[in-house]
Amino acid sequence: MPYERILLAKKDGLATLTFNAPDRLNAVSRKMIAEIKLCWEDLAADSAVRAVLLTGSGRGFCAGADLADPDREASATADSGAALEKYFNPVIRLMRALPKPIVSAVNGVAAGVGMSFVLASDIAIAAKSASFLQAFARIGLLPDGGSTWFLPRRVGEQRARALAMLAPQITAQQAKEWGLIWDVVEDGELMKTATELARRLAEGPSMSLACIKEAMNRASGNDLGQQLDVERDFQRALGRSEDFKEGVAAFLGKRQPIFRGK
Amino acid sequence: MDKTPVIAALEGGVLTLLLNRPQRLNAMSPALIEAMNHELARARDDSDIRAVLLTGIGRGFCAGADLAGTGPGDPDADGQPDLGAAMDRLFNPMIRAMRALPKPIVAAVNGVAAGGGANLALACDIVLAARSARFDQAFVRISLMPDLGGTWFLPHTVGDARARALAMLGDSVPAEEAVRMGMAWQVLDDSALMEEAKKLAHRLAAGPTLSYAAIKQAINAAATNTLDQQLDLERDSQRALGRSADFKEGVAAFLAKRPAHFTGR
């Protein structure tokens, strides 16, 4: 499948998806989001892919929806909900449901729905010079791409409301301190660090990682009693996996495990 | 007797509510809550009001329910106090009205916010605190539990571990610590608090009001929605906002690289 606005590379179980409209700081046009959606569908269906690395080419990670996109219907009766329903929401749902870890390497500004993509990934690492911005209120919208759900869960009610209403641009370091992202590294180290992490996950116990992701997805709606039952059921399944057997043997033999994702 | 337990002033789209029982550190009497509920209803109904600023007169922000005098509890048939009745009639309608108000509420916490006063602050959308302010979940000291939504706001604002400790220990949290925990958005020097809070409230009052209302409603709903449900909510709200005059203006201003002039429509 040839893509024009994104790049997709697959190597040894690791897929790298790169937003590729660097002249627009990777702002998402209708064409780009259609490709992104197709790409996540491909990554979900490809059993050889065991982890995904998400990044942007050029100076930005993703500047959000492209307001200057010629394909964008700009009339007063245009339906902002339709683009969410058709493209953006399916992408966020695909990312969360994907039974494989997603690592974001945030190489520059992540604004609007670009920030939502970061929040929807499992582990986000940002370059020191990267920044984050819930830009929506600046143009009379509300955060989308799941950000009204991710924000209060990451940073609590107070900060979520302030970030959404005041739309301040925050640094990578601030984002880390607030728990919006996992880590910050020097700009020159970003791709090496993120790729190593993603590769480690691609070589990890894939079933365990898939269960962790699904359990965390469910935790936000479960009470503790329900979650204990989820853990029981998932752990039962994992306890019957080959990777569990290998993990225990390697631990007892004081050697490195070799996981196959089975 | 308090003649005016809440002083209200409307200017430039900002309704400022001043808790006015300074001799009691603005502890909440029934009359104060009734006045708050009256003003919140006005803020809801008056389209000239586009943001609310809440603060206290004197040294305190709000010392919680006033335990002196008749106290907040109506006696029940056995002559025993019924705190639940006061919650139902006065306090809970106030908190519900604050969360449901389709306009942003800024709290300027000028001094101690204790007991229900702390949770009154947490019910606001954006909390600014003076450096000398502090937040006390004092309830446990008199053998009660946090109310005015405190048992909900705390875990949703600072996380489970801190919420339990704050509620059970009733320790006083200084303003800077409150900001580190995420209980307040920003700490300011005492002398700068009111000016900055007014500036912020006026900025919000000049902003895209429909967008703020949608943000508030969406974040209110997020706490119990699944991500799936929330994505649908965002779709519906964004569809409505996409048809607003402020969105058209926002995009035009962005593309022309000029500041936007929002009208709240």
Q: Could you list the pLDDT tens digit for every one of the 262 residues in chain A? A: 689 999 999 999 999 999 999 999 999 999 999 999 999 999 999 999 999 999 999 999 999 999 888 877 654 456 889 999 999 999 999 999 999 999 999 999 999 999 999 999 999 999 999 999 999 999 999 999 999 999 999 999 999 999 999 999 999 999 999 999 999 999 999 999 999 999 999 999 999 999 999 999 999 899 999 999 999 999 999 999 999 999 999 999 999 999 998 8
Contact flag B226-A84 (C-beta cutoff 8 Å): no
Contact flag B238-A164 (C-beta cutoff 8 Å): no
Please report where in the chains the tokens 């959308």 appear, as a residue: B125
- A193 strand-pairing partners: none
For residues B199 and B172, the answer to whether their CB atoms sit within 8 Å is: no
A77/chain B closest Cα distance in angstroms: 6
* Burial degree of B34 (CB within 10 A; 0-12, 13-18, 19+): middle
A218/chain B closest Cα distance in angstroms: 9
Contact flag A140-B243 (C-beta cutoff 8 Å): no
A157/chain B closest Cα distance in angstroms: 5
Whether the ipTM is more than 0.85: the answer is: yes
- Inter-chain CB pairs, A–B, below 8 Å: 161
- Provide the strand spans (E) within chain B: 6-11, 14-19, 51-56, 74-75, 81-82, 105-109, 112-114, 126-130, 134-136, 172-174, 186-188
> Residue B205 corresponds to which tokens in the numbers above?
């009052």
Give dist(CA B74, CA A49) in Å, integer: 65
Contact flag B185-A146 (C-beta cutoff 8 Å): no
| Cβ contacts of A221 on chain B, cutoff 8 Å | 226
- The most distant pair of C-alpha atoms in chain A lies apart, rounded to whole Å, by 68
Contact flag A84-B104 (C-beta cutoff 8 Å): no
The structure's pTM equals 0.93
| Cβ contacts of A144 on chain B, cutoff 8 Å | 234-235, 238
